[in-house]
Every structure is written in C-alpha cells, then in structure tokens.
C-alpha cells in the first residue's frame, strides 16, 4: 500500500518538480527549457481531439495531473519518467501533450514546455472565452462557423456526446443553453468567478446519480441557485429567469377507511376547512389524463391525444385534485400569481410504484407560439401582469420504454428562427409542425417581449 501511494505521489508531483527545476536552471543562467520551435507540431491530429470526455487517465483512472495526447486524443497521468504519459510517448512516438488543468503544452519524452501561437485554437476549445460584444451578437445572426476539425456548425446548435447513457442530462443542458439570459450569464466568467468548484469533472459525477431528465433538471436548477448564493429570499440568475409564484388551496380529506359516522364528524371539524398558502416554483408539472389505450376496427393501437390547455387547467384556480401522502389525503387546487420571463413545463409521463415504472404515451397538442396564460392568473395578477403570452424555445422528448428509452430535443435558433433537432451528436433541421407530434416531456417557453403582441421570430 505504501509503495502504491508513493508511486501515485511521484506522478502527481511531476509538474511541481519540473517547475522547480526550470526555476533553478534560470537562476543559474541555464537555457530556458521552454521552446518555440517544437519539431513535432505537424503530428498533431485535431480531428481526434474531443474534450467532452471525462478528464481521467485512461490507465490509472485518476483525474489528477492529466495530460491529453494531441496525436491520438487519449488521456494520461503525469509526465515524469515513470508516468503513463511519458511511457505512452516512448512506446508510440507521440510527442505533444496538453495539461488539461494548466493548459500548458509539453513535448515528451524530452519534457520541455512548448509555446507556439498555432496551438491557441486547441486551448480555446478546451476553455473558451467570450467578449461582451461576442455574447451580444450570438442571437443576431445565422452564420456558420468552422470547427478546428474542419466541420461546420451553427453556434448554439451543437450536439453532445452520450458517453454513459447521460442523454437525459445532455438535453437539459441544451435546453437551458437556449435561454439567452441564463446562457449569457455563464459565458461571462466574472459573474461566478468566486464560486468554489469541486475537483475533477463534476458533470460526470452528477449524471451517474440520475436517469431521468426531470429529476436532473429539478436537482440541477436548485443546486445552481444555491451555488450562486440564492436562497428562498435572495435571488440568483436562476430565479430571475425561471421563478414564478402561485397560490395553493388545500383541505384535508377523511381517510377512505373511516366509518360513515366518523367521516361525517371529520367534515365538521375546523381542520377540514380550506387553507390557502403562497409558493414559488421554477417549473410547473402538468398531469396527463389516464391513457385509455384501445384498438380500432383494424386492430391498430390508438395513441390518445390531449390539448395543452386541458392539462393547464390544473392551474385555473377551480380544478381540484386529490393528493395522497403517507398518512393523510388532501384536495388541492392551484392558481398562478406571477409568471416568469421563461416558463418551464414538465409533463408527467411516468408513474412509479414498488414494482415497475409505467409511461403514459399521450400526445400533447400545443401551438408553438402565442400561448396566452392570462386566464390562469388571479384577478390581482391579471391587473399587474402586462405580458402573458409565450412562445416555445425548447422541447425535450422521451422516446421508447421507461427503462430503455432515449432523449432528444428540439431547439429554436434565435438568430434564424429555424428549428433543429439534436440527439446526441446528431443535429438536423426540422419543420415546426413536426415538433407537436412528439412525446414532449420538458418544454421551455419564452415570454413575448412587447406589449403589442409582437412575438419573436419562430419560423412557424
């Protein structure tokens, strides 16, 4: 155990020891070991570089002191003579490596730092930076850009690797990235520079905890709000963009097993009276009606459909629904009191019990523009809320069975008004009318900007 720990320590401290040697050499008048003329730069293969993958050594699986081989794209730990990167460079004659933490380039096995402006495109992809001018123009054009591997892409419409069945997390990130105020906030690093970040590749640690897009969305938004200093009373960029409020009217119900006499006595008690409370929300859960699957005269399976406004009726202040807890049952109704700039709908497709998860395949029929939510507001809110009409900007879809299904997403490109479908790394354009035929699971709606009803261009 001690030997193993010593070996790990040697590998981890290679960088520190190298820096000390360089500094000593300079103080003694020796030649600077950094070079601007590495003879192996033409061996770099940019087409194999993909920094989406977890920053782990491919041999030791450690996230400490990891280098990317720029010839084959694999990750290795350390660069000392006993390190995995050093051994790889000797065995395969791959010489150019990038430290994924310090963003410094090295030539192995000679072990000197490379400084060359031709490598800046690689560090930019690993850690991109954006000026305010660049950010402000992201949604004003549809210009194609060329990646360093030669492919072209439309900014904002980029696929993500599905590495460990993490497509449910990918679609959530792609949906949130299509919300300009949230995206722009995180493109300016000074907004969150003081936040303490956990070590390693936190994204890959997180996605292993979830398997469902709504579960991940709920956790991620609340965790992000807290990490940015947000509380129930203190706002963050998350609450400013997505938080609305509602009134909840609730009254207790007698237990169904109570005798008739006791039920009657219960209803006369004071605690049966309806109570009202105020609550905030980051997204609204929309309940689907029970799916009455049946076959027509040709023995073809019929998939039921429901209009969006039917399931939005949950928030009209009149619709009552029974909710069961471990000990008590309640009858509740909801009414909105404040609408956010961006409104998230989570359509409840999955029902869980002790034995299995069942999926409701009901198709929700919805327009992608001009959805007016004024009727779901209280009278006081209707008087104060000037703009209550929304347009769709992101639509997450779940296809297939609960345990074997996959995720894809439709996103609106704000610069061109065109819709695109993203599934893992695949990106295709799509007609707006095709979006409404899918099993929508999560939707993000943008409140229209102007009081006169002028909507953002959606390509519809």
Three-state helix/strand/coil letters over 338-361: ECCCEEEEEEECEEECCCCEEECC
Say what the pLDDT of residue 149 is. 67
What's the domain range around 442? 167-447
pTM for this one? 0.81
* Cα angle 275, 280, 286; round to 5: 85
Please compute the mean of the pLDDT values over residues 222-239 and round it to a whole number.
92
Residue 457 has pLDDT above 50, yes or no: no
For residue 9, what are its two tokens? 């320590």
Answer yes or no: is pLDDT of 199 > 60: no
pLDDT at residue 94 greater than cutoff 70: yes
Task: Please indicate, yes or no, whether residues 81 and 171 belong to a single structural domain of this protein.
Answer: no
Both tokens assigned to 251: 């009254």
Between the ranges 100-109, 147-156, 185-194, 210-219, where is the mean pLDDT highest? 100-109
How far is residue 367's CA from residue 396's CA, in Å, rounded to a whole number?
Answer: 15
Burial class (CB in 10 A: 0-12, 13-18, 19+), 319: middle
Distance between CA atoms of residues 181 and 203, nearest Å: 22
pLDDT score of 40 more than 60: yes
Instruction: Flag whether pLDDT at 200 surpasses 50.
Output: no
Among 54-58, 139-143, 399-403, which stretch is predicted with the lowest mean pLDDT?
139-143
- CB atoms inside a 10 Å sphere around CB 318: 10
pLDDT at 276: 93
Band of the pLDDT at 161, cuts 50, 70, 90?
confident
Residues 206 and 256 reside in one and the same domain: yes
Pairing status of strand 342-348 against strand 284-287: parallel
Domain presence at residue 156? no
**pLDDT band per the 50, 70, 90 thresholds, residue 144:** confident
Do residues 272 and 415 share a domain? Answer: yes
Same domain, 121 and 174: no
Single residue among 96, 126, 156 that ends a domain in this structure: 126
Residue 248: pLDDT band (50, 70, 90) is very high
Q: Note whether 101 and 250 are same-domain residues.
A: no
What are 305-327's pLDDT values in tens digits? 999 999 999 999 999 988 877 67
Examine the domain organization and report whether 176 and 122 are in the same domain.
no
Residue 326 vs residue 329, higher pLDDT: 329
Q: Looking at the domain assignment, is residue 60 inside a domain?
A: yes
Whether 50 shows a pLDDT value over 50: the answer reads yes
CB atoms within 10 A of CB 150: 8
CATH number reported for the structural domain that contains residue 103 in this entry: 3.30.40.10
pLDDT beyond 50 at 36: yes
Q: Are residues 72 and 198 in the same domain?
A: no
Q: Would residue 131 count as lying in a domain? A: no
Q: Is 68 part of any domain? A: yes
The long-range contacts involving 58-66, CB below 8 angstroms and separated by at least 24 positions, are 58/84, 59/84, 60/8, 60/11, 60/84, 62/8, 62/11, 63/199, 63/200, 63/201, 64/11, 64/12, 65/11, 65/12, 65/14, 65/15, 65/99, 65/101, 66/99, 66/100, 66/101
Q: Is the pLDDT of residue 236 over 70?
A: yes
Distance CA 367, CA 391 (A): 9
The pLDDT assigned to 298 comes to 59
* Secondary-structure percent of the chain, ordered helix, strand, coil, rounded to 5: 30, 25, 45
Cβ-based neighbours of 424, under 8 Å, separated by 6 or more: 159, 160, 161, 162, 167, 170
Q: How far apart are CA 206 and CA 189, in angstroms?
A: 22
The yes-or-no verdict on residue 57 having pLDDT over 70 is yes
pLDDT at 314: 96
Whether residue 183 is found in the same domain as residue 112: no
| pLDDT(81) > 70 | yes
Q: What residues contact 400, with CB distance under 8 A and at least 6 apart?
A: 406
pLDDT value of residue 166:
86
End-to-end Cα distance, the chain: 65
H helices present in 70-193, as ranges: 84-92, 120-126, 132-136, 167-176, 180-187
Rounded mean pLDDT, 390-419: 94
Whether residue 24 is contained in a domain is answered as yes
Give the domain-ending residue among 68, 96, 126: 126
Same domain? 216 vs 107: no
Computed over every residue of the chain, the mean pLDDT equals 83
Region 104-113: mean pLDDT is 94
Do the beta carbons of residue 141 and residue 152 sit within 8 Å? no
> Given 73, 106, 126, which residue is the final one in a domain?
126
Please report whether residue 171 resides in a domain. yes
Is the domain of 244 the same as that of 97? Answer: no
pLDDT at 453: 44
Q: Are residues 399 and 284 both part of a single domain?
A: yes
The answer as to whether 135 is a domain residue is: no
CATH of the domain at 319: 3.90.70.10
Q: Can you give the pLDDT at residue 309?
A: 96
| pLDDT score at 266 | 62
Q: DSSP for 260-310?
A: HHHHHHHHTSGGGS-EEEEEEESSEEEEPPP----B-TT-PBPPPEEEHHH
Q: Distance between CA atoms of 108 and 90, rounded to whole angstroms?
A: 8
446 vs 22: CA distance, rounded Å: 55
The total of structural domains in the chain comes to 2
Same domain, 282 and 365: yes
415, 419, 423, 426 alpha-carbon torsion, rounded to 10°: -70
The residue-averaged pLDDT of 199-203 equals 52
Q: 456 lies in a domain?
A: no
What is the token pair recorded at 88?
Answer: 């790889």
């Amino acid at each position: 155990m001690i030997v193993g720990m010593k070996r790990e320590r040697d590998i981890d401290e290679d960088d520190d020891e190298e820096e000390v040697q360089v500094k000593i050499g300079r103080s003694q008048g020796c030649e600077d070991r950094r070079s601007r003329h590495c003879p192996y730069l033409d061996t770099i293969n940019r087409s194999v570089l993909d920094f989406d993958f977890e920053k782990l050594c491919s041999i030791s699986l450690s996230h400490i002191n990891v280098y990317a081989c720029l010839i084959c794209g694999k990750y290795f730990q350390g660069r000392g003579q006993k390190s995995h990167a050093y051994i790889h460079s000797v065995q395969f004659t791959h010489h150019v490596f990038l430290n994924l933490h310090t963003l410094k380039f090295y030539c192995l096995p000679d072990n000197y730092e490379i400084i060359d402006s031709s490598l800046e495109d690689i560090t930019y992809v690993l850690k991109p930076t954006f000026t305010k001018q660049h950010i402000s123009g992201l949604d004003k054009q549809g210009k194609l850009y060329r990646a360093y591997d030669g492919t072209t892409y439309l900014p904002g419409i980029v696929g993500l690797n599905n590495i460990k069945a993490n497509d449910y997390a990918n679609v959530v990130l792609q949906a949130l990235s299509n919300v300009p105020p949230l995206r722009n906030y995180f493109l300016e690093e000074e907004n969150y520079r003081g936040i303490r970040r956990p070590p390693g590749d936190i994204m890959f640690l997180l996605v292993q905890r979830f398997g469902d897009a709504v579960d991940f969305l709920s956790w991620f938004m609340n965790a992000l709000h807290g990490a940015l200093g947000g509380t129930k009373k203190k706002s963050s960029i998350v609450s400013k963009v997505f938080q609305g409020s509602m009134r909840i009217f609730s009254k207790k119900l007698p237990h169904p097993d109570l005798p008739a006499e006791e039920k009657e006595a219960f209803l006369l008690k004071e605690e049966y009276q309806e109570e009202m409370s105020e609550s905030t929300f980051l997204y609204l859960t929309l309940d689907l009606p029970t799916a009455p699957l049946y076959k027509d005269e040709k023995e073809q399976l019929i998939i039921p459909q429901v209009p969006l406004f039917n399931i939005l009726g949950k928030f009209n202040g009149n619709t009552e629904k029974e909710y069961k807890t471990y000990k008590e049952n309640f009858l509740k109704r909801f009414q909105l009191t404040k609408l956010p700039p961006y409104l998230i709908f989570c359509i409840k497709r999955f029902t869980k019990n002790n034995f299995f998860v069942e999926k409701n395949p009901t198709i929700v029929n919805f327009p992608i523009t001009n959805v007016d939510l004024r009727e779901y507001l209280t009278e006081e809110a209707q008087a104060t809320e000037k703009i209550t009409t929304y347009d769709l900007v992101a639509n997450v879809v779940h296809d297939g069975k609960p345990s074997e299904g996959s995720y894809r997403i439709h996103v609106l490109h704000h610069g061109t008004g065109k819709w695109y479908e993203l599934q893992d790394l695949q990106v295709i354009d799509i007609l707006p009318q095709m979006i409404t035929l899918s099993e929508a699971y999560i939707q993000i709606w943008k409140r229209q900007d102007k009081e006169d009803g002028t909507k953002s261009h959606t390509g519809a």
